[in-house]
Chains A and B, each alone.
Chain A
């Protein structure tokens, strides 16, 4: 593409449209990650179903495949990131959603397999962390990343705290995940508003 070529109005508009279209065409996902996780979960579910009748002890560990599958997932993510050559506005947000979902599901699997959950606080705190961490990661807003992680730590702590004291942990989760980040966001918003008036 040459630079100093004189552009007519129509050519300018055509160029803008074609560039935006080109960038948009790159947004398509390769689908490899979805195929990987789809295959792994289908396989684990079906093997567990069959093992209900077969009762082979070795097959009880089939769900560990989901942990093993994290390795190719990391490799795929790094490779795709390298070849992409750009970062879209959505990519960070989507990464945040999947990352928080992954952490929450592994945490939940761990907690439900290791502990008898006799109150819902651990489940609520695990859920609190998902949108908080995803939003913080997607918008590069550190207080919400910390808030999301804090909820997951509190979810583990809550297993050792009896009712009604566990309500302090729920309040602590809400304070760290939403109230403090909310105060910070409000301060930024009011500051920006004052500057634009």
Chain B
């Protein structure tokens, strides 16, 4: 039975952010922006959506007098990502 893909993750930028965060322990906002080539505004909005869904933790602090935002995937985010990949595999198998 085909299951709908998680709408929170099935979006280009949010999926890119979660894919990056799944491979590292934590990442700075600037790192995510550089890797995804997204604008700061757009990335900020999508990070907030992921945070509201409970998929990532966001810590804001100051480093060398500059604001620093650090993002980290939560266990809930890991589980959602794993389910998304499983659903994606099922979806691709059905298409074949």
Chain A: how many interface residues by the 8 Å CB criterion? 25
Judge whether A89 and B24 touch: CB under 8 Å.
yes
Question: A28 at interface (Cβ–Cβ under 8 A)?
Answer: no
Contacts of B12 in A (CB 8 A): 1-5, 7, 15
Contacts of A5 in B (CB 8 A): 12
Question: A164 at interface (Cβ–Cβ under 8 A)?
Answer: no
Per the bound structure, the CA–CA distance linking A9 and B9 in Å amounts to 12
Question: B37 at interface (Cβ–Cβ under 8 A)?
Answer: yes
Contacts of A88 in B (CB 8 A): 23-25
Q: Choose one: A3, A20, A91; the contact of B19 (CB below 8 Å).
A: A20
Contacts of A1 in B (CB 8 A): 12-13, 16, 36-38, 42
Chain B: how many interface residues by the 8 Å CB criterion? 32
Contact with A along B37-55 (1 / 0, CB 8 A): 1100010011000000000
Contact with A along B1-40 (1 / 0, CB 8 A): 0000100001111111001101111111011001111100
Question: B78 at interface (Cβ–Cβ under 8 A)?
Answer: no
Q: Which residue from chain A places its CB closest to the CB of B34 in the assembled complex?
A: A85
User: Which 4 residue pairs across A and B have the least CB separation, nearest first?
Assistant: A85-B31, A19-B19, A86-B27, A3-B13
Interface residues of B (CB under 8 A from A): 5, 10-16, 19-20, 22-28, 30-31, 34-38, 42, 45-46, 85, 88, 91-92, 95
What are 28 A-B interface contacts by the 8 Å CB criterion?
Answer: A1-B12, A1-B42, A2-B42, A3-B12, A3-B42, A3-B46, A7-B10, A10-B92, A12-B15, A13-B92, A15-B15, A15-B19, A19-B19, A19-B23, A19-B36, A20-B23, A23-B24, A24-B23, A84-B31, A85-B27, A85-B30, A85-B31, A86-B26, A87-B24, A87-B25, A88-B24, A89-B25, A92-B25
Interface residues of A (CB under 8 A from B): 1-5, 7, 9-10, 12-13, 15-16, 19-20, 22-24, 84-89, 91-92
